[in-house]
Amino acid sequence: MGVGIEVKNLNAWYGQTHSLVDINLNMPANHATALIGPSGCGKSTFVRCLNRMHETNPIARATGSVRMGDIDVYKDASPVEIRRRIGMVFQRPNPFPTMSIYDNVASGLKLNGFRNRRIMDEVVERSLRGSALWDEVKDDLRKKSGASLSGGQQQRLCIARALAVEPEVLLMDEPASALDPVSTSKIEDLIFNLKSQYTIVIVTHNMQQAARVAENTGFFLNGRMVEFDSTHKIFTNPSDKRTEDYITGRFG
C-alpha cells in the first residue's frame, strides 16, 4: 500500500533562479494526484524534489519539508533509499538499450545486491504483470533488448523496472506525452489500476488525462501552487480565476 506525501513550505532553486516558492499540499495515499500548468511553471522540479533527484544537479538546492508517511525525506533517509521508495517514470522511455527485457526489470534489484534467481524471476514476472506487459513479452524476456520494444511497451517496461524495487510512491513526469493514443490509453488504464497499491503523482499537460486518472489536481503557475483541490472541482468550479483561464485555454 502507498503512503501519503505531505509538503510544507517547499522552496527550490537552480542557481539564483527561485523555481518553487512556498509549496504546501497533501497528496493522499492510494490516490492519483495530477499536476497541471504551463511549461516552465515548476511541475517537474516539484516532483524531482519529492524523491531528491533535484539535488543531483550541482547548482540546485531545496528547503522545506517533504514527508512520506512518518519519514522526513530530507532528514531521515539517504537519497538512494528515498529513490527506491519513491520511484520515477520519465517523459521519454529510457530502458537500458544493451540489456534484455528481463535484465532491465531486474536492474534495480541487482544494483541493491539482490542475487536470488528464483525470487528475482518472481519479481520480474510480478512487475511485468503489474505494468500490463507480461503477456506481450513473456516469451522474449532474455531474447530481446528493452530497446527493441515499441515506445508504449518501453514506457511500461520502465514502469515495471520502477515497480520491481517495491516503491510506495510512483512519480510520473509526462509519462504518455511521447506516445500514440493507443499506448497513452494503456498507460492511463495502468495508472488507474496501480492506485490500489501505490500513491501516484503525475505531471501532465493533457487536462483530459488529469480528469480521467486523478482524484486530486494541483495547478502550478510561475513556481507557485495556485490551487489544489478535487479534480472535479478544479475542472468545473475552480476557486482562482487563473486556474479557470488556464483550463479554458486563455493562456498556456
143-167 per-position pLDDT tens digit: 999 999 999 999 999 999 999 999 9
Domain assignment present for 75: yes
Q: What is the pLDDT of residue 179?
A: 87
Domain count, the chain: 1
Q: Which three cell numbers stand for residue 222?
A: 510561475
The domain in which residue 170 lies consists of: 5-247
CATH number at residue 112: 3.40.50.300
Q: What is the pLDDT of residue 252?
A: 66
Q: Listing from the earlier edge strand, what are the strands of the sheet with 5-14?
A: 17-27, 5-14, 60-68, 71-72
Question: Do residues 90 and 53 touch, judged by C-beta distance below 8 A?
Answer: no
* Cα distance between residue 12 and residue 108, in whole Å: 28
Domain assignment present for 252: no
Residue where the block lists cell 517533504: 66
Domain assignment present for 105: yes
**Cα dihedral 176/112/104/66 (nearest 10):** 0
Domain assignment present for 135: yes
Question: Do residues 30 and 211 touch, judged by C-beta distance below 8 A?
Answer: no
Domain assignment present for 228: yes
* Cα distance between residue 216 and residue 83, in whole Å: 23
Domain assignment present for 166: yes
Buried b (16+ CB within 10 A) or exposed e, 39-64: eebbbbbbbbbbbbbbeeeeebebeb
The Cβ-side half-sphere exposure at 252, using a 13 Å CA radius, reads 21
Positions in the chain whose pLDDT score sits under 50: none
